[in-house]
């Protein structure tokens, strides 16, 4: 087995060098005619070691193996770069696209700046806000349903960078060079609904702009509607896990997923999203919508627990499946049931090896009075480590399951432990990042994952691999495997890259990513263990909303074991001896972390 894995690693290294041998000058990134919004970009490639490589006549530094990744500045519009090596030439055309809105000088609104840009629905009496981008010193107002709301210019309008900015150290607000006008009001507060009317359309807001004695009127693209206060629309989650968010777009943060069957009143709409009465937003296509005379609410009187295989199940009988959220901490776990009123006198919770105590209380406001119909249950753990949880509705009974700690055997350090390894990317449709030679991330993750698999088996673990070759797997396919296997640990193996405005030469190192608190200690421990033992740079430990870190059935982490795009680190990444050393160190790190959990 070891000889086969060693041969695989040697083949991978040969493949990584083949492009360089066949074509001395090669550019792996960016492709020709690349478009970007960044003001700079790195050019990643390689050439034979002897000789010089130049970009637009300027010789660039290269690694001992001949790889390069210089950063070049980009002007707005088209940029042309000529790379030369001996008698070879590669021409790259790169277009920088502006993301900054140009200050307006004419009597007009900035295109697509009027809100709402998509249809929205709100409750009667609810505050609604409007905004537009217009020239300085203009007078702007909006008219809807017979009301006129003046909009005020904002003296300090800031734009936030996207989430990738934290990866390049440029995570600072940027002052906008345009003027935004904003205002809020209560629209059509005294509308009358007929008995069978569920929604009233108010039409599209009409904006008016006046400047230099010129007036312009223009409608927003989205219209506003008012939901009936008595004809309640109910959303029932039909997805296995409904994706709840803090707002009506996929850019908004995720909340605790809603189990299939969850029912809640719809109190707002925006585009394809529904706002539910407990505060979360969900896509309409993940729900079935009905109309009912009363909103879903439930009493709760009792709770009980039982052991089922490797799991401790806690059951909460309800009258209807209600929305929930989860808060997980090192030694506790809090479950909140919304639209629920407690009538609890008796709870059966037998002593067990996992939970020391369960407490409950109604949700209170900061002043101590009851804030809403919601009940919280807090579990206090006996163990140092939480090994996973899952939630489901069995009819109208909510079932919360906690994973019992693995039963380790004494003969080998990981005997009794089930570990899932996910080699990142795979197939010709998902190469991942590419190194200077064009060698794809998908190949090196598979080589290292197989080496790690062998090392974990030596230490007694049972190992499941999400792929053994070039299987074409989406992230959700891998997540389904994790949920089906219910391993004790889930580890996803990756190698890193950067956004266009990063520095591919200076940036290197190992990083780890976690999402659920039960995975935090594993992520931090493995990160520091790898950095110290292998004497590698640290790129950092990150909380990150990644598909392979979100599963709750096990502590799930994603490792970025180095930067494919860094010319020097790439040589470490594809070195067979270093790959073997990495696998051994990672397996040893898991052993040491497991010891700490006992």
d(C-alpha 568, C-alpha 44), whole Å? 12
User: Are residues 494 and 531 located together in one domain of the fold?
Assistant: yes
**What length is written for the chain?**
598
CA distances from 154 to 137, 151, 176, 179, 217 (A): 11, 9, 11, 7, 21
Please state the separation of Cα 346 from the chain's center in Å. 40
Structural tokens at position 430: 């998902």
Structural tokens at position 494: 């990756």
Whether 489 is in a domain gets the answer yes
**3-state SS assignment for residue 32:** coil
Structural domain containing residue 69: 26-96
Structural tokens at position 552: 């709750």
pLDDT digits (tens, 9 = 90+) for 397-449: 999 999 999 999 888 999 999 999 999 999 999 999 999 999 999 999 999 99
Residue-level pLDDT at 168: 75
Whether 107 is in a domain gets the answer no
Q: What is the pTM of this model?
A: 0.91
Whether residue 351 has pLDDT greater than 90: no
d(C-alpha 563, C-alpha 18), whole Å? 20
- CA max distance for the chain: 88
Please state the separation of Cα 82 from the chain's center in Å. 37
Nearest to 30 by CA among 431, 438, 424: 438
User: Are residues 270 and 311 located together in one domain of the fold?
Assistant: no
Whether 409 is in a domain gets the answer no
Asked if residue 285 lies in contact with residue 299, where contact means CB atoms within 8 angstroms, the answer is no
Per DSSP, helices labelled H in 460-575 are 475-485, 520-534, 567-573
Whether 45 is in a domain gets the answer yes
Residue-level pLDDT at 530: 98
> Of all helices (H) and strands (E), which one includes residue 9?
helix 2-22
User: Are residues 246 and 356 located together in one domain of the fold?
Assistant: no
Whether 5 is in a domain gets the answer no
Whether 504 is in a domain gets the answer yes
Q: Residue 27 half-sphere exposure, CB side, CA atoms within 13 Å?
A: 22
Whether 104 is in a domain gets the answer no
**3-state SS assignment for residue 472:** coil
pLDDT digits (tens, 9 = 90+) for 26-73: 999 999 999 999 999 999 999 999 999 999 999 999 999 999 999 999
Nearest to 435 by CA among 87, 63, 148, 1: 63
User: Are residues 511 and 457 located together in one domain of the fold?
Assistant: yes
Strand ranges, E, within 163-284:
174-175, 179-186, 199-203, 206-211, 214-219, 224-227, 232-237, 241-242, 258-259, 263-270, 273-276, 281-283
d(C-alpha 524, C-alpha 529), whole Å? 8
Asked if residue 340 lies in contact with residue 434, where contact means CB atoms within 8 angstroms, the answer is no
For residue 300, the cross-strand partners are 342
d(C-alpha 465, C-alpha 470), whole Å? 12
pLDDT digits (tens, 9 = 90+) for 127-164: 999 999 999 899 999 999 889 999 999 866 677 777 77
Q: Residue 427 half-sphere exposure, CB side, CA atoms within 13 Å?
A: 8
Structural tokens at position 119: 């249809």
User: Are residues 480 and 396 located together in one domain of the fold?
Assistant: no
**3-state SS assignment for residue 296:** coil
CA distances from 18 to 11, 14, 122, 310, 597 (A): 10, 6, 61, 49, 45
Residue-level pLDDT at 550: 98
For residue 105, the cross-strand partners are none
> Of all helices (H) and strands (E), which one includes residue 131?
strand 127-134
Mean pLDDT (the chain, rounded):
91
Whether residue 319 has pLDDT greater than 80: yes
Handedness of CA 538, 541, 547, 552 (dihedral sign): positive
User: Are residues 443 and 568 located together in one domain of the fold?
Assistant: yes
Q: Which of 403, 437, 454 is the last residue of a domain?
A: 403
> Domain total for the chain?
5
Q: Which of 343, 373, 403 is the last residue of a domain?
A: 403
């Amino acid at each position: 087995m070891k000889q086969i894995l060693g041969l695989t690693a040697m083949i991978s290294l040969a493949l990584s060098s083949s492009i360089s041998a066949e074509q001395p000058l090669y550019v792996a990134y960016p492709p020709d005619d690349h478009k970007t919004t960044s003001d700079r970009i790195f050019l990643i490639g390689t050439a034979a070691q002897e000789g010089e490589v130049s970009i637009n006549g300027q010789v660039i530094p290269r690694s001992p193996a001949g790889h390069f990744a210089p950063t070049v500045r980009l002007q707005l519009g088209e940029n042309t770069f000529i790379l030369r090596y001996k008698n070879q030439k590669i021409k790259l055309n790169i277009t920088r696209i502006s993301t900054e809105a140009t200050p307006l000088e004419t009597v007009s609104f900035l295109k697509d700046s009027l809100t709402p840009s998509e249809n929205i629905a709100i409750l009667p009496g609810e505050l609604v806000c409007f905004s537009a981008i217009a020239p300085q010193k203009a007078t702007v107002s909006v008219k809807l349903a017979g009301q006129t709301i003046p909009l005020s210019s904002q003296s300090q309008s800031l734009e936030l960078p996207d989430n990738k900015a934290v990866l390049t150290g440029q995570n600072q607000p940027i002052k906008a060079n345009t003027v935004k006008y904003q205002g809020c009001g209560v629209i059509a507060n005294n509308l009358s609904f007929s008995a069978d009317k569920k929604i009233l359309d108010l039409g599209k807001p009409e904006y008016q702009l006046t400047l230099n004695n010129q007036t312009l009127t223009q409608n927003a693209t989205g219209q506003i509607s008012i939901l009936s206060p008595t004809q309640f629309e109910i959303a029932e989650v039909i997805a296995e896990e409904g994706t709840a968010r803090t707002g009506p777009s996929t850019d908004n943060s995720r909340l605790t997923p809603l189990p299939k069957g969850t029912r809640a009143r719809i109190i707002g709409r925006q585009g394809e999203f529904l706002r539910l009465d407990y505060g979360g937003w969900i896509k309409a296509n993940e729900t079935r919508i009905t109309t009912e005379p009363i909103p879903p609410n439930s009493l709760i009187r009792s709770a009980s627990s039982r052991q089922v295989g490797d799991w401790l199940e806690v059951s909460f009988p309800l009258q209807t499946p209600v929305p929930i959220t989860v808060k997980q901490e090192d030694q506790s776990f809090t479950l909140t049931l919304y639209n629920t009123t407690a009538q609890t006198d008796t709870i059966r919770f037998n002593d067990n090896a996992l939970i020391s105590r369960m407490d409950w209380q109604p949700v209170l406001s900061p002043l101590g009075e009851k804030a809403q119909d919601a009940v919280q249950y807090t579990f206090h753990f006996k163990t140092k480590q939480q090994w996973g949880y899952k939630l489901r509705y069995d009819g109208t009974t909510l079932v919360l399951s906690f994973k019992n700690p693995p039963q380790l055997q004494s003969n080998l350090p990981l005997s009794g432990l089930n570990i899932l390894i996910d080699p990142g990317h795979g197939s010709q449709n998902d190469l991942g990042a590419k190194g200077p030679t064009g060698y794809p991330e998908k190949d090196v993750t598979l080589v290292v994952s197989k080496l790690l698999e062998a090392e974990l088996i030596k230490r007694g673990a049972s190992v499941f691999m999400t792929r053994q070759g070039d299987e074409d797997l989406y992230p959700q396919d891998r997540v389904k495997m994790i949920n089906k296997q219910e391993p004790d640990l889930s580890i996803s193996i990756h190698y890193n890259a950067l956004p266009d405005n990063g520095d591919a030469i200076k940036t290197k190192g190992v990083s780890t990513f976690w999402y659920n608190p039960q995975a935090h200690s594993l992520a931090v421990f493995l990160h520091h263990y790898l950095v110290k033992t292998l004497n590698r740079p640290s790129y950092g430990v990150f909380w990150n909303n990644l598909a392979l870190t979100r599963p709750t059935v096990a502590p799930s982490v994603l490792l970025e074991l180095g930067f494919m795009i860094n010319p020097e680190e790439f040589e470490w990444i594809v070195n067979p001896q270093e790959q073997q050393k990495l696998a051994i160190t990672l397996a040893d790190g898991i052993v040491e972390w497991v010891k700490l959990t006992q």
